Amino acid sequence: MQFLTITGTVSDFLITDDEKTPLSFSLTYTSGNGTKKTSVFEIVGAPDLAAQCDDMAIGDGDKLTVMVRKLKQMSQEYTDEEGKTQTALWLRIFAETIQRVDPETPDMVGGMAVGNVGNDAEMAFTTQGTPYTRFSLPLSWSEKDANGKDVEVTTWARCTIWGKKGSANEPNAAERAAEKIVKGASLCVMVQSMHYDAYTKADGTLAASLDMSVFAARSLSRGATQSKATPPPAALRAGRPPAPPAAVQTADVPF
């Protein structure tokens, strides 16, 4: 379950004759931290939203806040200019509501996500020495399959909680999360940024990740929360460690 909103800039605005999702456009979102990282999401909407956007004369360059109904990782093969078959990966967001906002409104992501943690949280450090803890969380919803039967669809998000560099005298948010968040625990997280990256792995295959920066997490599991018997390794995880936000928030993880 999730309750998320994204504010960004519209491009490639289009209303088609599709019966289910005639509304389609790209939403460019840039996080407000020091890295100024940018993601482009595909937004689709039902006929009522298409009519609403038509009435408001929404177009390219407008600033919108989109409430997310569900999101889904998409893939499609295509032929490039050299005649080679390639695969494109992207994130499709199904909009619940759309609101035009002032052009000067900063890009932002807000809201929460709830799910059962997919792995024990692991803490590591950036090359600058800032601690962060990561774990996976499922974003699930129900939709009908080709036979009209309700099925659950899940997109996994990689969540990151940041700590403060040089906080040896007092446990920080990243350390508390690493100690408390375990596989299977029901968790509610507060989201402050979201990005989707497609990249090529070392073996040449294409992969993608949905990354969420989290500033608070709360256990929804009943009873006492299990702590790990041993702390997680303090080595960098394989891959590309993210850069920390300019103003790292260190809200408690109140288990």
- The 10s digit of each residue's pLDDT in 137-196 is 999 888 888 888 888 888 899 999 988 765 444 457 888 899 999 999 999 999 999 999
Tally of domains in the chain: 2
Has residue 224 been placed in a domain?
no
pLDDT bucket at 133, cuts 50 / 70 / 90:
very high
What confidence score (pLDDT) does residue 231 get? Answer: 43
Has residue 255 been placed in a domain?
no
Contact 133, 178 (CB under 8 A): yes
Contact 231, 123 (CB under 8 A): yes
Has residue 250 been placed in a domain?
no
Higher pLDDT, 255 or 49: 49
Has residue 86 been placed in a domain?
yes
**Which residue, 108, 124, 157, sits at the end of a domain?**
108
Has residue 175 been placed in a domain?
yes
Return the closest-CA partner of residue 2 out of 141, 194, 136, 118: 141
Contact 70, 42 (CB under 8 A): no
Three-state secondary-structure class, residue 253 = coil
Q: Which residues does 226 contact at the CB level (< 8 Å), separation at least 6?
A: 182
The Cα 200–Cα 85 span in angstroms is 15
Has residue 136 been placed in a domain?
yes
pLDDT bucket at 221, cuts 50 / 70 / 90:
confident
Query: Domain containing 150: what range?
Result: 111-219
* Same domain assignment for residues 12 and 95: yes
* Same domain assignment for residues 94 and 131: no
Please report the DSSP string for 104-123 in residue order: TPPPEEEEEEEEE-SS--EE
- Quote the pTM value: 0.79
What confidence score (pLDDT) does residue 143 get? Answer: 81
**Which residue, 108, 140, 158, sits at the end of a domain?**
108
Higher pLDDT, 86 or 59: 59
Cβ neighbours of 83 (radius 10 Å): 6
* Same domain assignment for residues 93 and 116: no
Scanning the structure block, which residue is given the tokens 């995880």? Answer: 237
Contact 255, 225 (CB under 8 A): yes
* Same domain assignment for residues 117 and 94: no
* Same domain assignment for residues 100 and 117: no
* Same domain assignment for residues 77 and 150: no
Pairing verdict, β 108-116 and 131-144? unpaired
In degrees and rounded to multiples of 5, residue 72 shows phi and psi of -150, 135
Report the CATH number that the domain containing residue 103 is assigned in CATH: 2.40.50.140
